[in-house]
């Protein structure tokens, strides 16, 4: 079972439906986390949401508790939340991408996706990962073709994955395939 933790976002149900294509999905608001669902889940997903990772200490706690024990996936804010827990700085960027379609490219650090493959994705973020960033076993694996901003990471040892863009957006081409690959990794 996949447990989606919702940060009161207006895109979360799209994620729930997308992940439902591959497994049973449960979703609760962060303020109403069900402990038995959390323990039962094989995968935890941190949803997008308003604000920045420092606003969600409860999500950080959940991440730190289950890191290495369950597969963990973060989307948009969830992506930032995981990196924040790994010591990253999440900062405002000059250009803001709310409702943007951008082209991104996969690099050689990816285990799951072919090096150099390009595709179009939907973005909703004003904050970004400040680089350089180093954390053990974490690799930035996709970047925006134009701005070079980090768009995904993989930690294949601990099975932790994140997307800064929205794989569930109608603006993302082949979003379902991305999720399928991550879930079967």
Partner 1 sequence: MIKNNFLNKINNSKKSYIIYKTTKGFNLYTDFSSKIILNNKNIDKFLSKKFKYNKNYKNTDLFIGFFGYEILNNLIKVKLPKQKNINFPKGIFYKPEKKITLKEDLIYYSNKSYKVNKNFKININKKSYTKIFNRFIKKIRAGETYQIKICTKYKNKSKIDPLDFFCRLSKTNLAPEAFMIKDKNFSIISCSPENLITKKGSYISTKPIAGTLRKTKKINKKKALKFFKNNIKETKEHNMIVDMERSDLSKVCKPGSVKLIKEKTVEEYKDLYHYVSLIRGKLKKNVKNIDIIKAMMPGGSVIGCPKISTLNLLNNQEKENRNIYTGSFGFIKFNGDMRFNIIIRSILNYKNISEISVASGVVVDSNSNHEFNENFIKAKALIDLYK
> Which residues are known catalytic residues?
76, 166, 168
In the region spanning residues 54 to 93, those forming contacts with partner 1, defined by CB under 8 A, are 77, 92
In the region spanning residues 100 to 129, those forming contacts with partner 1, defined by CB under 8 A, are 100-101, 122, 124-127
Which range binds partner 1 by CB under 8 A, 38-46, 47-55, 81-89, 150-158? 47-55
Q: Is 96 in the site for partner 1 (CB under 8 A)?
A: yes
Nearer to partner 1, 11 or 133 (CB): 11
Among 35, 36, 98, 108, binds partner 1 (CB under 8 A): 98
Smallest distance from partner 1 to CB 52, Å: 6
The strand order across the sheet containing 160-163 reads 25-29, 2-6, 43-46, 71-75, 160-163, 150-155, 139-144, 90-106, 118-129
Smallest distance from partner 1 to CB 99, Å: 3
Which residues contact partner 1 (rule: CB under 8 A)? 8-14, 16-17, 20-21, 25, 49-52, 77, 92, 96, 98-101, 122, 124-127, 166, 168-171
């Amino acid at each position: 079972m996949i447990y989606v933790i919702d940060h009161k976002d207006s895109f979360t149900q799209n994620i729930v439906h997308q992940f439902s294509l591959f497994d049973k999905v449960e979703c609760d608001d962060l303020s109403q986390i069900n402990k038995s669902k959390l323990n039962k889940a094989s995968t935890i997903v941190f949803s997008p949401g308003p604000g920045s990772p420092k606003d969600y200490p409860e999500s950080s706690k959940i991440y730190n508790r289950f890191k290495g024990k369950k597969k963990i996936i973060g989307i948009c804010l969830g992506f930032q939340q995981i990196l924040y827990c790994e010591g990253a700085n999440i900062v405002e960027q000059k250009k803001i991408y709310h409702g943007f379609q951008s082209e991104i490219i996969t690099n050689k650090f990816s285990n799951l996706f072919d090096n150099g493959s390009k595709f179009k994705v939907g973005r909703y973020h004003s904050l970004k990962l400040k680089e350089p960033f180093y954390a053990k076993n974490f690799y930035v694996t996709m970047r925006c073709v134009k701005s070079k901003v980090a768009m995904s990471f993989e930690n294949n040892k601990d099975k932790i994955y994140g997307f800064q863009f929205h794989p569930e957006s109608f603006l993302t081409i082949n979003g379902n395939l991305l999720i399928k690959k991550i879930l079967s990794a």
